[in-house]
Chain A
Amino acid sequence: MSNLDIILQQLANGLILGSFYSLVALGYTMVYGIIKLLNFAHGDIYMVGAFIGFSILSVVSGILGDGWTGIVATMALSMIAVGFIGVIIQRIAYRPMLQAPRLSILITALAVSLILYNLVMSITDGEFKAFTVGLGYEGISMGEVYITFTQMVLVSATAVLMTILHLFINKTMYGKAMRAISIDQDACRLMGIDVNRVIAVTFFVGSALAAAAGVMAGVYYGSIHFFMGFVIGLKAFTAAVMGGIGSIPGAMLGGLILGLLESFGTQIPFIGSEWKDVFAFGILILLLVFKPTGLLGRTEIERM
């Protein structure tokens, strides 16, 4: 392979990896922005999304087939289902803790994470499940570079979801309220905004995006596992911090950059692909040292 081929191939690989990271990072950053919670259960929401998608697909594929029609329907249904799961978790686990010290709600999030993945582990007996879809390996080749249609569709789907999110956040009243709540909750109450309701909507949207990523990961990798949310949770958190936690464009950017860095990191001589996690977290540490607010983050001054 020529150098150019390698660059193109890694660009494609990095974009798809980055898509998953971005979609999960968005949920992290939105929830942090609005209630200052690092929702460590968010990676598990992604995993639950994959399993819900798996169950829905087994029903839907009987009706719509396991091609793209079935997959898109599965994704949409999973997003709705997992969105509501996110809202329910928020209602039961987080809302009672909103007035408590920040550490308490963080520990609650860890507990939710443990509950979710142990629950899925016991249901699935800890086994890998094959995510069977009827997509071939057709694609386009440019010289030695080969990009499948599946990859292209998944990256495009991510772009569509992000565009919809962008419009929702910037153009609708609820989106504006969401941003306003991250600035000043009491002022929002005085505008007639039901803060709890907007928080619930935020959890719905964040969880739905994670579910989309979960289903996409199932489609792309072909198998799912109860532990799949752990590493991506950490990576998405890294991406959110890189972009500037609380910043929505930051999460999109951070995810893509992290995906690209990882895929290009595999090409560094003497550092094989098994070092890619070291590479990702090393970047996080460097960034925290030199630019702690992240690429697009705002400087927050905690006043006494």
Chain B
Amino acid sequence: MSDIVLQLQDIETCYGKIVALRGINLVVKKGQIVALLGANGAGKSTTLRTISGLVKSSAGKIMFLGNDITRSPAHETVRNGLIHVPEGRRIFKGMTVQENLDLGSFTLKDDGVRKKRMERVFGLFPILEKRRKQDAGLLSGGEQQMLAMGRALMNEPKLLLLDEPSMGLAPFLVQEIMRVIRQLNASGATILLVEQNAKAALKLAHYGYVLETGKIVMENDGNSLQNDARIVNAYLGN
């Protein structure tokens, strides 16, 4: 049981009167990449937003590393090592690349550690080092995604929630991002990945869940999902 990083029990979330999640149960184990698949509006992003505390669940329980974080505000769950890279990247345009990365380590007091982490991020994404003094708003879409992930890594995540990291990117950049995700995972990060690009996500994922209108309708290990006829028909195409 101790290798469970994240566990959602019967999570329900509403936006006003609209019910977005209708009892989600999922488990992410240490060292895994878990994919969360589903069509537009199925509730994938809402699931991540509920986990990180940006929206409050109306019922259910979220356990992170053995602690109940159901009611924790977003800025507190971050301090425990749960980092959410939101959909659309949400980098701070108008601030420099370096300032964006600095803010990623807002909770950190030690400048020496901050510098070490930044070097590690620059190792993963060398382009960010070249552009460190530039306005983040001037980066290309792929570079912005790298910055969003780099900013998250500045916080040394124990669990990384990635929302559509490949959205709007050219195919070779999608591959690049997926390569980095695999690399992060190999160096010990546990990842919950939301993707429209089910094919790319299932190639990486150890385990996957399929969401449909706020409910989990299918779950299995990555390989089985990849070969499941229903998944192939609905999300992977032929």
Chain A interface residues (CB < 8 Å from chain B):
173, 176-177, 179-180, 183-184, 186-195, 298
Closest B-chain residue to A192, C-beta based?
Answer: B78
Given A191-B104, A194-B75, are A298 and B54 also a contact pair (CB < 8 Å)?
A: no
Known: A173-B106, A176-B102. Contact between A190 and B95, CB under 8 A?
A: no
Q: Is the CB of B90 within 8 A of A187?
A: yes
In the assembled complex, the Cα of A188 lies from the Cα of B155 at a distance in Å of: 13
CA distance in complex: A109, B34 (Å): 48
In the complex, the answer to whether A192 meets B107 with C-beta atoms within 8 Å is yes
Give the nearest-CB partner of A194 in chain B: B75
Chain A residues in 8 Å Cβ range of B53: 189
Q: Tell whether A180 pairs with B90 under 8 Å between CB atoms, given A190-B84, A191-B151.
A: no
Which of A180, A186, A188, A191: most chain B CB closer than 10 A? A191
Contact call A189/B54, Cβ cutoff below 8 A: yes
Is B33 an interface residue when CB atoms closer than 8 A count as contact? no
Q: Smallest CB–CB gap between B160 and chain A, Å?
A: 11
Q: A residues within 8 A CB of B83?
A: 190
A183 and B94 contact, Cβ closer than 8 Å, known pairs A191-B103, A192-B79? yes
7 contacts between A and B (CB under 8 A): A176-B102, A177-B103, A183-B93, A186-B86, A191-B103, A191-B107, A193-B106
Which residues on B are within 8 Å of A, measured CB to CB? 52-54, 73-76, 78-79, 83-86, 90-95, 99, 102-104, 106-107, 151, 155
Q: By the criterion CB–CB under 8 Å, are B95 and A191 in contact? A: no
A177 touches B106 (CB 8 A): yes
Do A191 and B86 have beta carbons less than 8 Å apart? no
Residues in chain B near residue A177, CB distance under 8 A: 103, 106
Task: Tell me the complex Cα distance, A195–B75, Å.
Answer: 8
Question: Closest Cβ of chain B: how far from A178's Cβ, in Å?
Answer: 11
A298 touches B94 (CB 8 A): yes
A298 proximity list for chain B (CB < 8 A)? 94
**Neighbouring B residues of A183 by C-beta, 8 Å:** 92-95
**Which of A177, A180, A187, A194 is packed against the most chain B CB atoms within 10 Å?**
A187
- Residues from chain B with Cβ under 8 Å of A187 in the complex: 86, 90-92
Q: Given the complex of chains A and B, what is the CA–CA distance between A194 and B74 in angstroms?
A: 9
Residues of A within 8 A of B52 (CB): 190
Q: Provide the bound-state CA to CA distance between A180 and B85, in Å.
A: 16
A173 and B95 alpha carbons, distance in the complex (Å): 13
Do residues A191 and B106 form an inter-chain contact, with CB atoms below 8 A?
A: yes
Instruction: Compute how far the CA of A37 lies from the CA of B2 in the bound complex, rounded to whole angstroms.
Output: 48
Residue of B nearest to A189 (CB): B74
In whole angstroms, how far apart are the Cα atoms of A188 and B74 in the complex? 9
Bound form: Cα–Cα A183–B74 in Å: 17
Closest CB-CB distance, B52 to chain A, in whole Å?
Answer: 6
Q: Give Cα A186–Cα B75 distance, bound, in whole angstroms.
A: 10
Choose one: A176, A186, A195; the contact of B103 (CB below 8 Å): A176
Contact B102 A186 (CB under 8 A): no
CB distance from B165 to the nearest CB of A (A): 15
Please determine whether B92 and A184 come into contact, CB atoms closer than 8 angstroms: yes
CB distance from B175 to the nearest CB of A (A): 26
Q: How far is the CB of B76 from chain A (nearest CB, A)?
A: 8
B95→A186 contact, CB < 8 A? no
Q: Is the CB of A193 within 8 A of B95?
A: no
Q: Nearest Cβ distance between residue B55 and chain A, in whole angstroms?
A: 10
Rounded to whole angstroms, the CA-CA distance of A176 and B75 in the bound complex is 16
Contact check, A173 vs B94: say whether CB atoms are below 8 A apart. Answer: no
A195 neighbours in B (Cβ, 8 Å)? 75
B99 touching A191 by the CB < 8 A rule? no
Contact call A186/B99, Cβ cutoff below 8 A: no
Provide the bound-state CA to CA distance between A173 and B54, in Å: 22
**Whole-angstrom CA separation of A192 from B103 in the bound complex:** 9
* A183-B94 Cα distance, complex, nearest whole Å: 8
In the complex, residue of chain B having the shortest beta-carbon distance to the beta carbon of A197? B75
A91 to B92 Cα, complex, angstroms = 26
Given the complex of chains A and B, what is the CA–CA distance between A187 and B76 in angstroms? 14
A173 touches B102 (CB 8 A): yes
